[in-house]
Structure 1
Amino acid sequence: MNAAAENAAFHPLLQFEMEMEAFLSNWHHCDQLSSFVARMISHNRADPARHSNFLSSALNELLEMSFRSGLPDGQLGCTVYRHGPTERVKLTFPCPSAQWQFYREAVSRTQNGSGYARYLDSILTDLAPSREVILLDLAINFDAEIRLEEQAAPSITLVVDLPLEGIVN
């Protein structure tokens, strides 16, 4: 399936934008936004509470990552789409161009076999999860497919497909 056909299969469910300066003013915005979005999106799933918990956890991790690497100038943008059992989160946030290579490499690691060993090593040795570990966690524990869309400087967009309806654990 080509990219245009794949994108057309996903239907938008919810979108929000927030000034990055306002978002960065309070760490709790990550949890508040992820909880609200998850409740809104999950109401018509087979097990809404379970789905909401999974989506809230995944979205919170993404928002925390943007919180840690975001610049105070610009906007945070998030759109959630759905296609069958999969939710697609497109998260755009200001990101210094110096960090773009980091994101390219971190996203690449989620798509190859070396990610699992890196993930295990990191969770056993790190006190706080790094941005790379967050992406690996989503790929390994949520079976997420992650890709990067580079925007005009200084923004970056993470596209994360989460097949939450199919998660067994």
Structure 2
Amino acid sequence: MQGTESGFELLLELDMDIGVFCADWSYCDRISSYVAQMISHNRIDSLLYSNLFSSALNELLETAYRAHGPNGRFACRVSRCGELDRIELTIPCEGSATRFYLDASKRLARPDVAEQYRSALFSPGPLEPDIGLFELAVDYDAVFRIDAEQDNAIRLVADLSLEDTRL
């Protein structure tokens, strides 16, 4: 990946085998905490920013933990353009896992995202695996792009603006 994409500067990139990433659920929290600390040092309120970013990234990582292919490379890239942060996950997928992400992408693009989120949140039974994506879209105003990549993978892109600099 290049250092910049559409004005975004690459801040950090992690790459590992999906089997290593999915070996332990706690890696989601550990990775999100580490990445948030690494990129929040120059924000107005670095502690608040780190907490918000860690929570958002953790939701994305937990989604990848739940829905992925059996093997391949998992990558997490964080880039910044001004106040906008971009999280890109490359997740090995095939078959039903790919369909899960592409279907979620279509649902996230609908104008009734908030209603879908509330309905899923308060429905009886277990939560849907894509609930974290909807939480980010509604509560964090995240904008998503999810594309199928070559080599049985998807690329999930979430753009987040977590800091109000108008203060």
Q: Do both share a fold (TM > 0.5)?
A: yes
CA distance in 2, matches of 1:128, 1:138: 19
Deviation at residue 72 of structure 1 after TM alignment: 3.5
Matched to 1:27, the amino acid is: W
CA distance in 2, matches of 1:72, 1:100: 12
CA distance in 2, matches of 1:85, 1:10: 11
CA distance in 2, matches of 1:36, 1:47: 17
CA distance in 1, matches of 2:48, 2:78: 18
CA distance in 2, matches of 1:122, 1:110: 13
Aligned to 1:45: 43
Structure 2's unaligned 5+ residue stretches are none
Note if contact 2:98-2:153 (Cα within 8 Å) is conserved in structure 1. no
The 5 A counterparts of 1:17-166 are 17-126=15-124, 128-166=126-164
Deviation at residue 38 of structure 1 after TM alignment: 0.4
**Secondary structure, aligned partner of 2:13:** strand
TM-score (norm 2): 0.90
Shift in CA distance, 148/12, structure 1 to aligned 2, threshold 3 Å: same
Regions of 4+ moved over 6 Å: none
Deviation at residue 157 of structure 1 after TM alignment: 0.8
CA distance in 2, matches of 1:126, 1:40: 38
Amino-acid identity (%): 37
Residue deviations 1:56-79 (CA, integer Å, cap 9, x gap): 001001111111112231111010
CA distance in 2, matches of 1:121, 1:167: 33
Matched to 2:68, the amino acid is: G
CA distance in 2, matches of 1:52, 1:130: 27
Structure 1's unaligned 5+ residue stretches are 1-5
CA distance in 2, matches of 1:69, 1:126: 22
Count of residue pairs the alignment pairs up:
163
| Aligned-CA RMSD value | 1.9
TM-score (norm 1): 0.89
- Point out the structure with the larger helix share: 1
**Secondary structure, aligned partner of 1:78:** strand
